[in-house]
Amino acid sequence: MITLLWMYPRHLNTYGDGGNLLALRMRCRWRGIDTVLWPVDPGDRLPRRADVVFIGGGQDRSQTVVAPALQQHRDGLEALVDDGAVVLGVCAGYQFLGHRIVQSDGSVLDGLGLLDVVTAAGAERCTGKIVVDPHPALELPATLVGFENHGGRTRLGGDPETRPLGRVVRGHGNGDDEGTEGAFRGDVFGTYLHGPVLPTNPGFCDLLIRRALNARGATTDLEPLPDGVEHDAAAAYRT
């Protein structure tokens, strides 16, 4: 069984990012793997164990609302990661995985520090289709595709264990002038890709499932699924 922890679904669910959890649940279900979805709102207690933690996107006002709650959950989330939980942060969720977010009015929101990145508001928004060549260490079978709509510019720090999720072929990504998109460290992943990213990129979804199972000592051999439609759509997206 895989426990999926959804942080602040009422506040951080921009562009249908909750569809990432639906993709995780369905791709597990089709393989006979049971899942439990555990939503967490500000003020709620965290479970003692979770296999996947998801933090979605949200606009500046929503980020300001949940930032204090996220700090209250900081120790608990760090403990879950130390216990083997896989983490996916999308857009605002990705930014919160870093050290801090400097908003357009100059205010600073503290992050979780699970990735060595910092984010600051840019002068213009990064929008449109995005195509990314994933980092070779991830051994993903295809490029990642999606769309982005964010005002933040995210820069990776000097920690060698925090690496870009990939290199931008088309689009903006982190907007760091180095052509990178997202970041990952161990089993903690952050990205600006919406779509939602996991149903659009089934190989990435399966990577998270395998890592969650591996952390629990379970088999990581996943039965292949008929992903021809998704692959054809991604190929068309890249043109």
Catalytic residues: 91, 194
Q: Give the strand order in the sheet containing 35-40.
A: 35-40, 2-7, 52-55, 86-90, 188-191, 183-185
Residue among 114, 109, 38 at smallest CA distance from 74? 114
Contact between 188 and 117 (Cβ < 8 Å): no
Q: What angle do CA 18, 171, 58 make, to 5 degrees?
A: 30
Give the three-state DSSP class for 132. Answer: strand
Token pair of 7, please? 């942080």
Instruction: In whole angstroms, give the CA distance from residue 33 to residue 46.
Output: 23
